[in-house]
Structure 1
Amino acid sequence: MTLCYIAAVAAPRTVTISLPPALAREVDRVARAERRSRSELLREAFRQYVARLERWERIFTAGTQAARRAGVTEADVLRVVAERRRSSRAR
């Protein structure tokens, strides 16, 4: 019995970006050091960026839900932040 798995993978799409010269040099330096192409390096950087955004979104959502359950309002949070800032400046 032979099993065949065929993954449907969309063809890569080329995207052009502009980088300041110093950042382009840094991309090239890191890509060389890691023996990766620019494309591989930038794809991974973007994946990590998106993952970080999604992680922070989950954190904020959890915090909002916890605050709601505890009866804490946005005004309460702003008041506490303002109080902390005032007490920090007074030191």
Structure 2
Amino acid sequence: MNQTVNISFEKALLKEIDKIAKKEHRSRSELIREAARSYIEKKAKWADIFALGENIAKNAKISQDDVFDEIRITRKNLKAS
């Protein structure tokens, strides 16, 4: 079941949405629905990636400070070479 919502867009953004929708022979609503789905999927994938990284770091007993220290060392070595 679809639910209708009212949202506002800046004129320039709405113009871009309409331009793309027309080019792809789709409605504005279809384009915005797809954009919302894509955003939600991307956020979920990034959440999974961060959870995996946190799990690996926890198991390896690596802290955020360890990572920052390694980045500093690597950058220092790159500048020296």
Q: TM-score range by the shorter chain?
A: 0.7 to 0.9
Higher relative contact order (CA 8 A, sep 6+): 2
Task: String of CA shifts for 1:33-79, please: whole Å, max 9, x gaps.
Answer: 11111100000000000000000000000011111111101221232
Q: Where in structure 2 are there 5+ consecutive unaligned residues?
A: none
- What's the Cα RMSD here? 1.9
Larger radius of gyration: 1
TM-score normalised to the size of structure 2? Answer: 0.84
Unaligned runs of 5+ in 1: 1-9
Q: How many residues align?
A: 80
Q: State the identity as a percent.
A: 38
TM normalised by structure 1 equals 0.76
Match of 1:31 in 2: 21
> What stretches of structure 1 move > 3 A for 4+ residues in a row?
81-85
